[in-house]
């Protein structure tokens, strides 16, 4: 059975009617919807097992701790990490990147260099900008070529003896470009340079194995992968995490405390101060289980066909400009486009009248927009619950847009 | 499609009446809405406490462009004190549309540009 049809019934929100029309939700790159299995896991946790974790010597505390730590194991397995100590729960991708910038940044010296790319989401740019400003580092960006590919030759030239870290998206949230992460990680590691991969647009859509990629850090969010908001994951290679000082202080992240000093906790708790997002971890584990049952190869193939259809149908329309690679084989489940003569916000508002939810704007990638010479785009993005019918409907409505205003 | 967009907005977006630049302006201001990238520039010629002429240019959505066009028309020939006191409600009335909270900034950007231009020109009501 077609994946979109098979899964649709699991997502209660997709029954909603918007402006008198059935909801066509094409904004999963911003945030995905949640299956019943995730919603029920969170409810059941709160109704049956909630208490604070780790030091509660009572039944509920033990249950909650077991649920949290078992969620860590689920995530470890899902992304192919070798050790559970390598999985740190954060509030999201942004939080995870800031955590790394804080913790690793302390080891950088003035004059050291950090490399990002021109296609980064602000969340993988601003933390590095702030770090570079505070510590006197130099920030460099890998330029783009062609339809929106990283200029890997330019990357080689940007790598110097002073480069300490390379931070890049696995999949661009605008162009959809799947970056040659393994190749870049290999080149960086050969030079002793740390790598952070922003997997927010990859983990929900593609099979990801962090051990095979070989990166030092890999970060992603729960809410884009059918899980709840308020939780994200920092994968950090054990040898890299082990010597690092914690980013933030508080309870949970210490072993022993005196008034003037403290001894840090073991991995991964050293990087998880305060009460963790327990219910969110339970929800994330349910999302991982859901995706695991579907199989990420199948999810990727399904979304690739939706992307292919979107590129074909929108690409055939007069006045529609598509941004990013045209080949769905090397593209994530996002298609950014504009309609001639229409501001993306007007176009999105008109599509909303038809029940179609698409993103419009700069997609938190202003440097990329500036490079493309535009203020923003429309963006259709897909998940497991979308179907070709929805793409056809989108294309039909987009075709009428230029005469709608 | 398009019940959000009144015929006034459509008409003003497609065929603005006050698009352009006042030559040798007495007051000028330009600003952007960082949320959506709307950019509006307004130029004014002022004489004896009156707005002689008001024009706008920019790159924006239909609501923002219509708002700028209506505002420029509204203040032309008015006393400066009246121009300074134009309120968002006045524009909403003229736009004749059901503006959602997320788009309200599109309506108010031209108003902000007008007030900043007059303030910068040292005009006091």
pLDDT in tens, A142-192: 999 999 999 999 999 999 999 999 999 999 999 999 999 999 999 999 999
The β-bridge relationship of strands A377-381 and A334-339 is antiparallel
Q: What are phi and psi of B52, to 5 degrees?
A: -75, -45
CA A62/CA A78 separation, integer angstroms: 24
How far CA A14 is from CA of A23, A328, A356, in Å, comes to: 6, 26, 12
Give the residue numbers spanning the domain of B80.
7-120
**B98 part of contact set with chain A, CB < 8 Å:** no
Residue B31 lies in a domain: yes
Q: Decide if B1 is inside a domain.
A: no
CATH number of B87's domain: 3.90.1010.10
Residues of A labelled as active-site residues: 364
Query: Residue B1 pLDDT > 80, yes or no?
Result: no
Q: Are B5 and A346 a contacting pair at CB < 8 A?
A: yes
Query: Cβ contacts (< 8 Å) between A362 and chain B: which residues?
Result: 36-37
> Looking at the domain A39-292, which fold is it?
3.40.640
ipTM greater than 0.95:
no
Residue B125 is predicted with a pLDDT of 44
Residue B2 lies inside a defined structural domain of this protein: no
Alpha helices (runs of H) in A316-380, residue ranges in sequence order: 344-352, 366-372
Q: List, by residue range, all CATH 3.90.1150.10 domains of chain A.
A: 3-30+296-401
Q: How many CB pairs under 8 A join A and B?
A: 53
E strand or H helix at A288: helix A278-294
Q: A180-234 pLDDT, tens per residue?
A: 999 999 999 999 999 999 999 999 999 999 999 999 999 999 999 999 999 999 9
The model scores a pTM over 0.80: yes
Q: Which of A369, A368, A336, A362 is nearest to A141 (CA)?
A: A368
Residues 6 or more apart whose CB falls under 8 angstroms from that of A68 comprise A53, A89, A276, A278, A281, A282
Q: Which residues on chain B are in Cβ contact (under 8 Å) with A360?
A: 36
Sign of the alpha-carbon torsion through A387, A388, A391, A397: negative
Q: Nearest-CA residue of chain B relative to A375? A: B37
State how far the Cα of A327 lies from the Cα of A305, in Å rounded to an integer.
11
- In CATH terms, A3-30+296-401 corresponds, of 3.40.50.460, 3.40.50.300, 3.90.1150.10, 3.40.50.11540, to 3.90.1150.10
One digit per residue, pLDDT tens: chain A, 405 residues? Answer: 789 999 999 999 999 999 999 999 999 999 999 999 999 999 999 999 999 998 778 999 999 999 999 999 999 999 999 999 999 999 999 999 999 999 999 999 999 999 999 999 999 999 999 999 999 999 999 999 999 999 999 999 999 999 999 999 999 999 999 999 999 999 999 999 999 999 999 999 999 999 999 999 999 999 999 999 999 999 999 999 999 999 999 988 999 999 999 999 999 999 999 999 999 999 999 999 999 999 999 999 999 999 999 999 999 999 999 999 999 999 999 999 999 999 999 999 999 999 999 999 999 999 999 999 998 999 999 999 999 999 999 999 999 998 888
The answer to whether residue B3 scores a pLDDT higher than 70 is no
Give domain status of residue B103, yes or no: yes
B77 lies in some domain: yes
Instruction: Answer yes or no: do A405 and B10 touch at CB < 8 A.
Output: yes
Structure confidence by residue, pLDDT tens digits, B83-103: 999 999 999 999 999 898 989
| Count: domains in chain B | 1
pLDDT at B123: 57
- The full length of chain A comes to 405
A361 and B61 in contact by Cβ < 8 A? no
Separation CA B92–CA B97 (nearest Å): 7
How far is residue B1's CA from residue A89's CA, in Å, rounded to a whole number? 44
Note whether B2 contacts A400, CB cutoff 8 Å: no
Which residues in chain A touch residue B6, judged by CB atoms under 8 angstroms apart?
A: none
């Amino acid at each position: 059975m077609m994946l979109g049809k098979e899964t649709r019934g699991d997502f209660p929100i997709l029954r909603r009617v918007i402006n008198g029309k059935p909801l066509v939700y094409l904004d999963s790159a911003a945030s995905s919807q949640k299956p019943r299995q995730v919603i029920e896991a969170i409810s059941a946790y709160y109704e049956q097992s909630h208490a604070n974790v780790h030091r509660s010597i009572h039944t509920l505390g033990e249950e909650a701790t077991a649920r949290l730590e078992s969620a860590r194991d689920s995530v470890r397995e899902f992304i192919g990490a070798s050790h559970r100590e390598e999985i740190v729960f954060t509030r999201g991708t942004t939080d995870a990147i800031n955590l790394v910038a804080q913790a690793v940044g302390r080891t950088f010296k003035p004059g050291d260099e950090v490399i990002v790319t021109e296609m980064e989401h602000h969340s993988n740019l601003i933390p590095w900008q702030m770090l570079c400003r505070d510590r006197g580092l130099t920030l460099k960006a890998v330029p783009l070529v062609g339809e929106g590919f990283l200029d890997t030759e330019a990357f080689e030239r940007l790598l110097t003896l002073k480069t300490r870290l390379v931070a890049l998206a696995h999949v661009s949230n605008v162009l959809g470009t799947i970056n040659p992460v393994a190749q870049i990680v290999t080149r960086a590691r050969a030079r002793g340079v740390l790598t952070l991969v922003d997997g927010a647009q990859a983990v929900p859509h593609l099979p990801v194995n962090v051990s095979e990629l070989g990166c030092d850090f890999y970060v992603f969010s729960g809410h884009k992968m059918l899980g709840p908001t308020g939780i994200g994951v920092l994968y950090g290679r054990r040898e890299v995490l082990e010597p690092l000082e914690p980013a933030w202080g508080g309870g949970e992240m210490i072993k022993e405390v005196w008034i003037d000093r403290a001894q840090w906790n073991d991995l991964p708790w050293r990087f998880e101060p305060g009460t963790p997002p327990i219910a969110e971890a339970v929800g994330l584990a349910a999302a991982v289980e859901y995706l695991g049952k579907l199989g990420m190869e199948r999810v990727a193939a399904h979304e690739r066909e939706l992307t292919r259809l979107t590129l074909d149908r929108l690409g055939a329309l007069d006045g529609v400009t598509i941004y990013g690679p045209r080949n769905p084989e090397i593209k994530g489940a996002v298609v950014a486009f504009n309609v001639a003569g229409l501001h993306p916000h007007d176009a999105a508002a008109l599509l909303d009248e038809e029940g179609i939810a698409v993103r419009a704007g700069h997609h938190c990638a202003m440097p990329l927009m500036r490079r493309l010479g535009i203020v923003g785009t429309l963006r259709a993005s897909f998940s497991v619950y979308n179907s070709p019918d929805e793409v056809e409907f989108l294309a039909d409505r987009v075709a009428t847009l230029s005469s709608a205003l | 499609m398009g019940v959000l967009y009144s015929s006034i907005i459509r008409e003003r977006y497609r065929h603005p009446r006050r698009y352009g630049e006042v030559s040798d302006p007495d007051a000028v201001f330009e600003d952007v809405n960082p949320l959506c990238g709307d950019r509006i520039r307004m130029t004014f010629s002022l004489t004896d406490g009156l707005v002689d002429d008001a024009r706008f240019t920019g790159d924006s959505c239909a609501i923002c462009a219509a708002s700028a066009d209506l505002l420029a028309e509204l203040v032309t020939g008015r006393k400066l004190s009246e121009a300074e006191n134009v309120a968002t409600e006045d524009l909403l009335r003229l736009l004749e549309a059901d503006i959602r909270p997320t788009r309200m900034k599109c309506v108010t950007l031209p108003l902000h540009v007008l007030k900043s231009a007059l303030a910068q020109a040292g005009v006091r009501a």
